[in-house]
Amino acid sequence: MSCVTIIFLSAFTEPWRTISWGDKDRDLNYVQDYKPSKGSVKHLRVLLYGPVGAGKSSFINSVSSILRGRMAIPAAVSAYETHTIEREDGDPDGFYPLVLSDIMGLEDGTNKGVCTEDIKLTMMGHVMDKYLFNSTSPLLSGCAGYEKDPSANDICHILVCVISANSAETKPSVLQKMKTVREAARDLGIPQVCILTHIDEACGITESNLKDVYHSKYIKRKVKMSSSVGFPMNCIFPVKNYNEETKLNDDIDTLILDALRYIINFGDDFIKKL
């Protein structure tokens, strides 16, 4: 089978979702100008979780690079870590009112990776910044690192599940942990979206041109699979994170900013209700 035939068989002629390429400044300005709609909330807090190695830290790093207009130094995380993003535009506020909280990944089996109980506590704002997660025992009330009285700035305003489009099937025990987290967020009324990373490695179409992401049958299948575990299709965003690049790229930025715009809108809806 020729290369052209393979691409024809694995691609839709019409995109299954539309996105405006070459218009990244519009989304960038939207994100850069964002202010929480409630004055008492200093920043919108985004909490990322997902299987180990899915690209949580890389996503935070990519967002930081895009907003600052230059590559940021990758963050190594084993603790609960809140990332602020410094403004480069001389704004007296100094930082964007957007913080991204990173946690260690979910792993197969018990006593490995972050405990779902700790993710729930993090969502509720009970985990202090820099707290080092313990895979074998969740944080207990009264212990060091436990915030007794979280404010509206400490709680998570939007939960982002990060999954790789290029990994083998997620293990049932990890899926179960993800479900537990999703249900806890649902009970707390926290909005949720899903980011599908590694699309540059997942299929030939997106490997050769990111702009064809919404023509790819494979990516659509992956999005559908994620929707079958509980995310509405329109809350799942395929992206490519910065990993080996030394310069910013408009197509990478467009996909990430599109996702970020939704993250901000959904998160701000939650802030309005606080």
Contact set with ligand GTP (CB under 6 A): 52-58, 77, 104-105, 162, 197-198, 200-201, 240-241, 243
> In the chain, where does DSSP find H-type helix?
3-10, 24-33, 56-68, 116-123, 172-188, 199-202, 204-208, 217-228, 250-272
Biggest distance spanned by C-alpha atoms of the chain: 64
Minimum CB distance to ligand GTP, residue 102 (Å): 7
Residue 227 or 243: the one with the smaller Cβ distance to ligand GTP is: 243
Minimum CB distance to ligand GTP, residue 110 (Å): 17
Minimum CB distance to ligand GTP, residue 26 (Å): 23
Binding partner of residue 240 among ligand GTP, Mg ion, none, CB cut-off 5 to 8 Å per kind: ligand GTP
Binding partner of residue 55 among ligand GTP, Mg ion, none, CB cut-off 5 to 8 Å per kind: ligand GTP
Minimum CB distance to Mg ion, residue 272 (Å): 30
Compute the chain's Rg from CA coordinates. 19
Minimum CB distance to Mg ion, residue 178 (Å): 16
State the residue number with the nearest CB to Mg ion. 57
Report how far residue 198's alpha carbon sits from residue 88's, in angstroms, rounded to the nearest whole number. 28
Spatial CB neighbours of 188, under 8 Å, sequence gap ≥ 6: 123, 124
Task: Write the single-letter amino acid at 271.
Answer: I
Residue 13 or 246: the one with the smaller Cβ distance to ligand GTP is: 246
Residue 32 or 170: the one with the smaller Cβ distance to Mg ion is: 170
Interface contacts to Mg ion, rule CB under 5 A: 56-57, 77
Angle, CA of 81, 94 and 270, to the nearest 5° = 60
Cα 190 from chain centroid (whole Å) = 14
CB 196 within 8 A of CB 237: yes
Minimum CB distance to ligand GTP, residue 13 (Å): 26
Enter the tokens of residue 54: 């899915």
CB 235 within 8 A of CB 192: yes
Binding partner of residue 198 among Mg ion, ligand GTP, none, CB cut-off 5 to 8 Å per kind: ligand GTP
Binding partner of residue 206 among Mg ion, ligand GTP, none, CB cut-off 5 to 8 Å per kind: none
Residue 117 or 201: the one with the smaller Cβ distance to ligand GTP is: 201
Residue 37 or 78: the one with the smaller Cβ distance to ligand GTP is: 78
Estimate the crossing angle of helix 24-33 against helix 250-272, to 10 degrees. Answer: 40
